[in-house]
Structure 1
Amino acid sequence: MISRLLLFGATGDLAGRFLLPALARLSADGRVPDGLQVVGSAHQDWDDRTFRSHVATRLQQHAGDVPIEARDALISRLRYRAVDLEAAGSVAAAVGAFDDGGDAVDRPAVAVYLALPPVLFPAVLGALGGADLPVGSRIAVEKPFGTDLTSAVALNELLTRVTGGVEEAAFRVDHFLGMPKVQALLDRHAPGRPLTPVWNSASIAQVDVLWEETLGLGGRADFYDRTGAVRDVMQNHMLQVLTLVAMEPPARQTEGELHAAKLELLRSVRVCSAAEVPFRTRRARYAAGTLAEPGATGGRAVPGYSDEDGVDPARGTETYAELLLELDTPRWTGTRFVLRTGKALGTARKGVALHFRTAAPACDPGDAERVAADRLWIELDAPLESRQPGVQVTAPGERAAYGQVLTDLLSGGSRLSVSGEEAEQAWRIVDPVLQAWARNAVPLLEYPAGGAGPPPLEQTAGSARG
């Protein structure tokens, strides 16, 4: 197990809200390697004491339920190195913070986590290629992995060079795979389960994968306005959920067979033609409205997305996206798969809805909730609501997910990593949609914040069935 963790972006939101709290919880549970060393690295000119004080504050905010002894134990392990992420020598110096003599073969492996804006990945990976990483080291890269198929292929080629062609050394993070209910998705239709006999197109007319949020932009304009809903969650999290729902369960759920089955499913997704995109996709952004918030009488008025600070309206960034897909597999021919995500909606939901052609079957308690005579709902994340207006709360499942990610990374696992081919296949699916949207082949609709969003495709796009 790797016992050295180098965290780039250690002063950022991802590290403060998720990664460091997850490490504290793992430490409290006795699930970190003996002698774990953690070096945090970022652009601030800090020393160890300043960084430890910063982390103590973040752990109080986001891991206050972890015993103080465990938090203090993690803090005592921390060291800090300032870094210029675009200077190869500076990146190499951060890697060298662990050095205790010997060459790369003799030194213990390092897990390098890039908790950074994606625009920095190429420069940092290039620098890591010359940093003499010890044998057995792993590099974790956050999503989104690239901005389109071309950039994802280039990023994969760079990772291959940096890791010497060892696929296991490249860890493309998709933390949503670590959510307990997401991990259980494959078990829903494993052999012998009550739903298995009806998990096919003969019984199921439509499958919805939903990621709907009540939160607006939340101060993330610098990232989100250059990303949008498709690149933020659909190309990665939602397509990964689709694979777990629709893939053929492997005979043995080894990591290799699991990745092979997911890749086979992604290859089966039929790409929309240019003529189909207007009928099979929908994009929109929220207009001014009112978001309901606990403790706020009458809700909270928010401006339209294009009026939010830091947003460039000319980019046409979508906050709502819907995509109708079909799979070329014997099991699913004739079933519609709808992926839908939106921000600033009236209701928060993350899950899978199964629309049966007749009455929905009985299932195990906790397996799914019957929401209509012909419909079952599988919840993937029970959202928490903040009692403080404008404050986003991290749900327990999301906190647990990052603990699983770090455990996988340090132990050499890859269950919560996306293979390079999976990432490229996911871009193959959404690239034609994004290109058509960039040509304004599909109108950019608007919906009031706090509402239900635009009419869904299943109500308006009858011609998409062909």
Structure 2
Amino acid sequence: MSFDLVFFGGTGDLTWRKLMPALFQAFRHGKLPDGGRILAVARDERTDAEYRAFIKERFVEVDRSKQPSDEEFAKFAELLHYRRMDLSKPDDYQGLKEWIDARNADTAVLYLATSPHLFPQICEQLGAAKLNGPHIRVVLEKPLGHDLASAQEINRVVKSVFAEKQAFRIDHYLGKPSVQNLMALRFGNALFEPLWRRESIANIQITLAESLGVGTRGDFYDRTGTLRDMVQNHALQLLTMIAMEPPATNDADAIRDEKLKVLRSLKPFTRESVARDVVRGQYRAGNIDGRAVPGYLDEVKVPAGSHTETFLALRTEVQNWRWAGVPFYIRTGKRLAARDAQIVINFRPVPHPIFGGPNRANQLIIKLQPEDGLELTLQAAKGGLGSQGAAEQLSTVSLDLDFDKAFPTDRVGAYERLLLDAIAGRLNLFVRSDEQEQAWRWVGPILDAWANDSEPPRSYAAGSWGPAAASSLIARDGFAWAEEE
């Protein structure tokens, strides 16, 4: 299948740091379809050769195992092209159309790796240039909007130019192999489905923790914050995949219909419940891996006295028959104790313990990063005798599955998978507009409450697990975060 893949924002961080390395891996693995061209567009003047040299220089920042040899890059670079474009000028879009039409590839994927405020302008210009035919797809990078109103405006413009099946709203967490295995775990095995409900599960915890700070992105991050950057998209998408009902088929819309039902079933926030069930924090100076790091207010381009949150923990519920009364906890933040993304399913303890010692419950841990796998904790007897000759107390043992070891040759990175899916037209791992808008609708009361709250976020030391109030939030229900148990 021949294809053209066009990156708007072709010299930006996202393109050279994430997208080009992902495309090279697809090329190295032999998964990139033959007959492809990759075009970067940006404002400055460059030749194809200069752009190829620009990308090659930046590949040194990629993980060493993923860096190309000179021979590999030379072959990959044959696919790379560059075109100067002013995104406000209609003539430049006509020039792009002529470049695409000259070859008439089977499909053209237009990836908007720009600031989201440019999405409406770009889409309107694409429509005016007739760059919206049925063989064309548009990929929209997150964050899509700043709130519900801005998200709706972006979607309005996109829908005025492209059909919904042509719009690929990307959330790179959905491309992670471990997230895809969450679907396989639930709907490809009979073992867990009878237990995947309120009668068997006590609580569910989603943790998306980073040890890094905001770095040089202080101006962007201060306009965004953790709620917009991580919860409205990544965390809620994970929650829907945990809580959704089995779809009738593996069709994209069947899956997204069920995810939307979960979003609509989330317990709505009020001003009172935001104060009770949401904790926002901001990191101060501390230590990460034995190294002193600055606080958020001391980072580059962060304004003095900023109230932007770098940490968030919340409690919610899915108000339907399957999950009624089961608390879902979300926790995410920067400069935390470890880089750790996981989902913890805490099952209920046995109803009548007959062994001595604490009545520990089973736990299923779905590891997203840095490891990729599953861990199931069980209770087992060591087989010895206690001091009175009775069977000794039970001990916790783990069944641990490392997907990288189980499938050493078949692992595909998140952006690699999503780019290949966009080229192939597979929408399963992309977000539909009504999902996205419902997620904004749900977080809206939190944003509104904070906008009217003069209190700053709670302070926490870099290298910790966030404010103490996050532990108190979950302790109210008699539970603890996984690392505190």
**Superposition TM-score, scaled by structure 1 size:** 0.86
Give the match for residue 53 of structure 2.
Answer: 53
Distance 1:156 1:23, change over 3 A: same
Alpha-carbon distance between aligned partners in 2 of 1:322 and 1:81, rounded to the nearest angstrom: 44
| SS of the residue 2:24 aligns to | helix
Give the match for residue 197 of structure 1.
Answer: 194
1:116 to partner: Cα distance: 1.3
1:129 to partner: Cα distance: 1.9
Matched, 1:262 2:259: yes
1:92 to partner: Cα distance: 4.1
Alpha-carbon distance between aligned partners in 2 of 1:191 and 1:45, rounded to the nearest angstrom: 51
Alpha-carbon distance between aligned partners in 2 of 1:412 and 1:300, rounded to the nearest angstrom: 45
Matched, 1:138 2:129: no
Give the match for residue 364 of structure 1.
Answer: none
Map of 1:154-193 to 2, 5 A cutoff? Answer: 154-163=153-162, 166-190=163-187, 192-193=189-190
Larger Cα Rg: Structure 1 or Structure 2?
2
1:132 to partner: Cα distance: 1.5
Matched, 1:221 2:218: yes
2:273 corresponds to which of 265, 276, 283? 276
Alpha-carbon distance between aligned partners in 2 of 1:42 and 1:55, rounded to the nearest angstrom: 14
Measured against aligned partners, the alpha-carbon deviations of 1:42-83 in whole angstroms (never above 9, x if no partner) come to 122211111010112223432744454443222112111122
CA contact (8 A) 2:210 2:339 kept: yes
Matched, 1:251 2:248: yes
Distance 1:187 1:212, change over 3 A: same
1:241 to partner: Cα distance: 0.4
Alpha-carbon distance between aligned partners in 2 of 1:184 and 1:124, rounded to the nearest angstrom: 35
CA contact (8 A) 2:307 2:456 kept: no
Measured against aligned partners, the alpha-carbon deviations of 1:381-410 in whole angstroms (never above 9, x if no partner) come to 2269xxxxxxxxxx9999711111111110
Matched, 1:435 2:458: no
Matched, 1:19 2:19: yes
Distance 1:241 1:461, change over 3 A: closer
Give the match for residue 28 of structure 2.
Answer: 28
CA contact (8 A) 1:156 1:420 kept: yes
The more displaced of 189-198 and 210-219 is 189-198
The more displaced of 137-146 and 38-47 is 38-47
1:30 to partner: Cα distance: 2.1
Give the match for residue 402 of structure 1.
Answer: 415
1:124 to partner: Cα distance: 1.8
Instruction: List alignment gaps of at least 5 residues for structure 2.
Output: 352-359, 373-403, 479-485
1:242 corresponds to which of 239, 243, 248? 239
What amino acid sits opposite 1:39 in the alignment?
L
What amino acid sits opposite 2:366 in the alignment?
I
Matched, 1:412 2:425: yes
| SS of the residue 2:187 aligns to | coil
What amino acid sits opposite 1:227 in the alignment?
T
Matched, 1:326 2:317: yes
Distance 1:433 1:4, change over 3 A: same
1:202 to partner: Cα distance: 1.3
1:71 corresponds to which of 59, 70, 73? 73
What amino acid sits opposite 2:82 in the alignment?
Y
Give the match for residue 127 of structure 2.
Answer: 129
Alpha-carbon distance between aligned partners in 1 of 2:311 and 2:333, rounded to the nearest angstrom: 4
Matched, 1:117 2:108: no
Alpha-carbon distance between aligned partners in 2 of 1:142 and 1:233, rounded to the nearest angstrom: 14
1:83 corresponds to which of 68, 82, 85? 85
Distance 1:24 1:328, change over 3 A: same
1:147 to partner: Cα distance: 0.9
Give the match for residue 308 of structure 2.
Answer: 317
Instruction: List alignment gaps of at least 5 residues for structure 1.
Output: 293-298, 361-371, 385-394
What RMSD over aligned residues (CA atoms) do the two structures have, in Å? 2.6
Give the match for residue 339 of structure 1.
Answer: 330
| SS of the residue 2:223 aligns to | coil
Alpha-carbon distance between aligned partners in 1 of 2:475 and 2:30, rounded to the nearest angstrom: 55
| SS of the residue 1:451 aligns to | coil
Give the match for residue 444 of structure 1.
Answer: 457
Give the match for residue 98 of structure 1.
Answer: 100
Identity %: 37
2:292 corresponds to which of 301, 323, 330? 301
Measured against aligned partners, the alpha-carbon deviations of 1:353-393 in whole angstroms (never above 9, x if no partner) come to 12222159xxxxxxxxxxx7443321112269xxxxxxxxx
What amino acid sits opposite 2:86 in the alignment?
D
1:288 to partner: Cα distance: 1.1
| SS of the residue 1:270 aligns to | coil
The more displaced of 139-148 and 254-263 is 254-263
Count residues in correspondence: 432
Measured against aligned partners, the alpha-carbon deviations of 1:330-355 in whole angstroms (never above 9, x if no partner) come to 00001001111010011221010122
**Superposition TM-score, scaled by structure 2 size:** 0.83
